[in-house]
Amino acid sequence: MNLNQIESFLNVVRLGSFSKAANYLFVSQSTISQRIYSIEDDYGLTLLKRDRGVKGISLTNEGQMFYQIALEYESLISKTKNIKSMSGEVTVTIGAVDSVHNYILNEIYSFIIQTIPNIRLAIHSHQSNEIYRLIEEREIDIGFSLQDRVLKNVGVKQLFTEQMVLIKKRNNNAYFNIVKNSDLTPDNQIYINWGSENQIWQ
């Protein structure tokens, strides 16, 4: 097992597809597949469900357990690479989804690095639901999640909200009618967990 295999597996899980992981790592989709098959073959595991007609990525029970090991492996490699730079510095580990890192916190990270010379930022990408577990287990210092949760040992503060809107082509004499919640069919919903208020509404 090597870092390339671990990176491929973690990115397939995080991004939800082989093709997205391949684009992110700048390799072919077949390379991603081969790396994951190699892990499975070397250790006699089945990490991903591969049912026909099923879209998206789903982990087996073995895959769930291996995912936790892969996260630890990734963290150890990161710490090892940065031993020298960590000497005499304070490290703050930040976990967030990729979009938050890239589009919201990017300039803040640059400002911190330029103005506080003795601080080192360790930036990791994780899924929203995973960030809470990492905070609880003290594997990261600060997390930025897209989901709101209430946990006993975790402090949560809302930074901002964004409005979700529907965009469609304008048609003459076509207007949206108000739809009552009671008229909506639950079987047809696309559920997105936007936090505790959304769960209460559900």
Six token digits for residue 101? 């890192």
**pLDDT value at position 154?**
84
CATH of 1-81, one of 2.60.120.260, 2.30.30.100, 1.10.10.10, 2.20.28.90: 1.10.10.10
Q: DSSP secondary-structure letter at 28?
A: -
Q: What distance, in Å, lies between the first and last C-alpha atoms of the chain?
A: 43
Are the C-beta atoms of residues 85 and 56 closer than 8 Å to each other? no
**pLDDT value at position 54?**
55
**pLDDT value at position 67?**
92
**pLDDT value at position 10?**
92
Residue with token string 């559920």 = 191
Six token digits for residue 168? 């469609």
What residue ranges do the domains of the chain occupy? 1-81
pLDDT in tens, the chain (202 residues): 888 899 999 999 988 889 999 988 888 999 999 999 999 999 999 999 876 655 678 899 999 999 999 999 988 888 887 765 556 678 899 999 888 888 888 888 888 888 887 888 888 988 888 898 888 888 899 999 888 877 778 888 888 877 778 787 777 555 667 778 888 888 888 777 666 667 777 7
The conformational region for residue 183 under phi > 0 = left, psi -120 to 50 = alpha, else beta, is alpha
